[in-house]
Structure 1
Amino acid sequence: MKMTMDVECTPEEARRVMGLPDLTPIHDAYLEKMRKLVEDGITPDTMESMMRAWAPMGDTGMAMWRQLMDRMTGSMSKS
């Protein structure tokens, strides 16, 4: 026997039912930091330092990000 159940709920309700933590304060802090960076004028150095902080596996992760950005911008630069 196969049974299907559809549950209609908001993402907040689903998060609570599954017992997941509320990351709203972290998300808000991240957005505020990004907003400040944009207002202050984001530089390539700032962007690189953010990517280094986010990138898994250090330089390998950075190479992956660089490749992704090159593809998105159509750049054929090799570094």
Structure 2
Amino acid sequence: MNFRVDIEMTPEELRRALGLPDVASLQQEMIAKVREQMEAGAEGYDPLTLLKPYLNNGIGSMEAFQKLLFSMMNQYGSSKRDTD
């Protein structure tokens, strides 16, 4: 037996439904800082060092999310093979 559910929602609605934070203001702030540094023409400027404090916290969460999705796909695939 198969069920199919189609849900139409905007990315904003999906973000809220999943409980993800609104990072639009953070993104704008980061872009403004990068633009400021680029306009200043800082010698030896490395954008990664500017973004590193923000990225360190988010990467672990993204890896955990990817592992969760991967385990869900593996479970679905193994249960599918068992029923066939």
Interval containing the TM-score (normalised by the shorter chain): 0.5 to 0.7
Name the CA distance, whole Å, in 2 between partners of 1:22 and 1:38. Answer: 26
C-alpha change, 1:25 and 1:52, in structure 2 (3 Å) is closer
Q: Indicate the percent of aligned positions where both proteins have the same amino acid.
A: 31
For the aligned residue pairs, the C-alpha RMSD in angstroms reads 2.8
> What corresponds to 1:13 in structure 2?
13
Q: Answer 1 or 2: which has greater helix percent.
A: 2
TM-score where L is the length of structure 2: 0.50
Name the CA distance, whole Å, in 1 between partners of 2:14 and 2:20. Answer: 9
Name the CA distance, whole Å, in 2 between partners of 1:53 and 1:39. Answer: 20
Stretches of structure 1 that go unaligned for 5 or more consecutive residues are 57-79
Stretches of structure 2 that go unaligned for 5 or more consecutive residues are 57-84
Would you identify which runs of 4 or more consecutive aligned residues in structure 1 move more than 2 Å?
51-56
Higher RCO, Cα 8 Å, sep 6+: 2
C-alpha change, 1:49 and 1:11, in structure 2 (3 Å) is closer
> What corresponds to 1:33 in structure 2?
33
Matched residues, number:
55
TM-score where L is the length of structure 1: 0.52
